[in-house]
Chain A
Amino acid sequence: MKNKISWLAAPYVIWMALIVVAPIIMVVIYAFTTAQGGITLDNFARMGTYTVIFTRSFQLALVATIICLLLGYPLAYVMAKEGPGFQRIAMVLIMLPMWVNFLLRTYAWMAILENNGILNNFFEAIGLFDLINGIFGTDLTYFRMIRTQGAVVLGMVYNYLPFMVLPIYSVIIKLDHSLLEAARDLGANSALVFRKVIFPLSLPGVLSGVTMVFVPSVSTFAISRMLGGNNQMLLGNLIEQQFLGGAYNPYLGSAIALVMMVIVIVCMVVMNHFGEGEEQAVML
């Protein structure tokens, strides 16, 4: 195997070393040092204060991941079962929004969800508020949607849903049809085929989908700032604050980032363990 071909990987290996490995080493170094250059564990000792932020970030990311899975799996399944015409159109519709810049799309959500935004104006126009006020005797003029945790979850789901659909889809579409036929021959009805054959075989796709949604969700700072009104900090905001806030403290920022990375890695390892044995299909 060790022939000339392996040289072709050299550019990528160098790229990885420079752009991925070196920064992680720097984060580790920063996390264990002080501004004066000494080695310390103080940065980690302060982590207890931020437990609430850690919990909140993981909770919101988890909720977003579950919603993405509930929405994304059926879509991926239906897509894989339909003909190539439907697949092509569905694929374009899933990919199209990703061609527009992520921040612009999130800005658009601000305009939609604002108190005086598109959605509230629409409700106003169809007389929804009058109706509700008439029934309940309230004096509602808008629904509070933006600057809430719900809006943050919405932003995560909206932005990361394609990353759930695509890996699941690509696994299901490659399933060996003879397996499904065999299951049916043996007397399984379609629910049973799905439960015993399709779903277990699609788990690798689910796992990579979950990873690809959960990881960016847990570290986002733009979505919580734009749609969550920064009311409650998420990990991304906390880390950003260390680098770009008034007290420039890359040491503490690196320590928080490192702890977050470790927790995420642990989560992923546990999850992959859970899906072990089903890994014949390709991990994306």
Chain B
Amino acid sequence: MKKITALTLACSLALGLFLSGCAMEESASGSSSYNFTAGSGSTAGNNSSSTESGKREVNVCSWGEYIDESLIYKFEEETGIKVNYNTAPSNEELYSLLQSGGVNYDVIVPSDYMIARLISEDMLQPLDYSKIPNYEKIDEQYKGLSFDPNNEYTVPYTWGTLGIIYNTTMVNEPITSWEVMFSDEYAGNILLIDNSRDAFGMALYYLGYDVNTTDEAQIREAAQLVADAKARGVYDGQGMDEVFQIMEGGNLAIATYYAGDFLSMHENNPDLAFCVPEEGSNWFVDAMCILKNAKNVDEAHEWINFIASTDSNLANMDYIWYASPNAEALEKYPAYYEETYGEPLDQELYEIMAAPKDVLARCSMYENLPAETLALYNDLWIELGI
């Protein structure tokens, strides 16, 4: 008897979950089909896959917490195109996903060096900029960069810097140099960023070498600097996403991470401060591209154009705290912030988000490294973990 009761309970629970899942599914698909009739549909029919299913869609893959999600609904409503939004944890994992061939993304948003790699491996297709009028609004500063010198494949999405995040209550004086990452002053109170490019990169900057060097001796010297510091117990640990919990909770004094994420942490712990070290640092651009084997090319262009608009950039900037490459949006943001929150935007925070020219002048972009150098990075990184 008891068994029957338990079984009934379990079944009804499962059924309940199933039904609520269906209901959600229905409301999602319901809204997009409604929007399809309401949408413009100007380019519908150009794409074979979309005519087959009678439904237009676009498959996007970006990073987690990297878009104001209301933009997705807005786009679906305006165009009737269903957005399948996916996320990947890092450029390397995205690359691995694409290599394994199990995914069918149309639009991806990789960072500079990964874009260069994808272009060199013929995995991206040239964009039709006539379908992306908003491209005009992108500041010239973010066009013609090393990863896409002739502006053929990309529309910049965000940009930012890498720097040192520190807890002002746990350090003696403001930090301005990478030196702190390799000295014993705060030994055991530092989190090392957990990817080889950034970790060895900060050592290369500190040593005064080019961060894109392929000189084995220089890379080894940089790796040795990190390894020595690790052996002396300078780092309490290594982490990427863990940094949020660690720094917000005041568990360690110093970490290396990205400016946009610093601003999110700062919202939860105002004791935190950020610096772009004087020796220079990485500045990166994440840009939207369309994969060579994309099925929904027209929809992908529409999506890119929508995201590149000033309104979308303002909403995104406000949500994810990464700076926009859209000149108009970047300029308007302080006013937008004041209007939204009823208080002026802290100039200091604004300059951390959108690093001023003099800061960018000492920063450089990661370029794609040749396969041997990547393998060397990987080997040295594993040695560090042994």
Residues of A within 8 A of B (CB): 49-50, 52-53, 107, 110-111, 114-117, 144, 146-147, 225-226, 228-233, 237-238, 241-250
Contact = CB atoms under 8 A, between A and B. Distances in A.
Interface of B: 89-90, 92-93, 95-96, 99, 188, 191, 194-197, 235-239, 242, 245-246, 249-252, 371, 374-375, 377-378, 381-382, 385-386
Given A246-B374, A247-B377, A238 B92 contact: no
Contact of B249 (A117, A237, A244): A117
B249 A233 contact: no
Contacts of A243: 96
A144 B377 CA distance: 30
Given A244-B90, A246-B381, 13 more contacts: A50-B386, A52-B386, A111-B245, A114-B251, A116-B249, A116-B250, A230-B194, A233-B382, A233-B385, A244-B93, A245-B92, A245-B381, A246-B374
A110 B237 CA distance: 13
A232 B385 contact: yes
25 contacts: A49-B386, A50-B382, A53-B386, A111-B249, A114-B245, A114-B249, A115-B252, A116-B250, A146-B251, A147-B236, A226-B242, A229-B238, A229-B239, A230-B385, A231-B238, A241-B378, A244-B89, A246-B92, A246-B197, A246-B381, A247-B374, A247-B375, A248-B95, A249-B375, A250-B99
B303 to A, nearest CB: 26
Contact of A238 (B235, B242, B375, B382): B382
A86 B194 CA distance: 46
B165 to A, nearest CB: 16
A229 B381 contact: no
Contact of B239 (A111, A144, A230, A250): A230
A146 B371 CA distance: 36
Contacts of A250: 99
Contacts of A147: 236-237
Contacts of B386: 49-50, 52-53, 232-233
Given A229-B238, A231-B238, A248 B385 contact: no
A248 B249 contact: no
B252 A247 contact: no
B232 to A, nearest CB: 13
Given A237-B385, A238-B385, A246 B237 contact: no
Contacts of A248: 92, 95-96, 99
A107, A228, A244 — most chain B CB neighbours (10 Å): A244
A189 to B, nearest CB: 38
Contacts of B89: 244
A7 B1 CA distance: 32
Contacts, number: 92
Contacts of A114: 245-246, 249, 251
B251 A116 contact: yes
A212 B111 CA distance: 41
Contacts of A247: 371, 374-375, 377-378
Contact of B378 (A231, A237, A246): A246
Contacts of B385: 53, 230, 232-233, 237-238, 241
Contacts of A115: 251-252
Contacts of B246: 114
Contacts of B242: 110, 225-226, 229
A238 B383 CA distance: 10
Contacts of A230: 194, 237-239, 385
Nearest to A110: B245
A230 B245 CA distance: 15
Contacts of B377: 246-247
Contacts of A249: 375, 378
Nearest first, the 10 closest Cβ-Cβ pairs linking A and B are A229-B237, A233-B385, A247-B378, A147-B237, A230-B238, A247-B374, A115-B251, A114-B251, A116-B251, A244-B93
A179 B314 CA distance: 77
Contacts of A144: 188, 236
A50 B381 CA distance: 12
Nearest to B237: A229
A12 B239 CA distance: 40
Contacts of A111: 245, 249
A254 B196 CA distance: 21
A49 B141 CA distance: 45
A231 B188 CA distance: 12
A52, A110, A237, A242 — most chain B CB neighbours (10 Å): A110
A230 B239 CA distance: 7
Contacts of A146: 237, 251
A116 B92 CA distance: 32
B97 to A, nearest CB: 9
Nearest to B88: A244
Nearest to B250: A116
A111 B96 CA distance: 31
A146 B251 CA distance: 10
B120 to A, nearest CB: 14
Contacts of B95: 248
A244 B196 CA distance: 12
A52 B384 CA distance: 12
Contacts of B374: 246-247
Nearest to A228: B237
B89, B95, B382 — most chain A CB neighbours (10 Å): B382
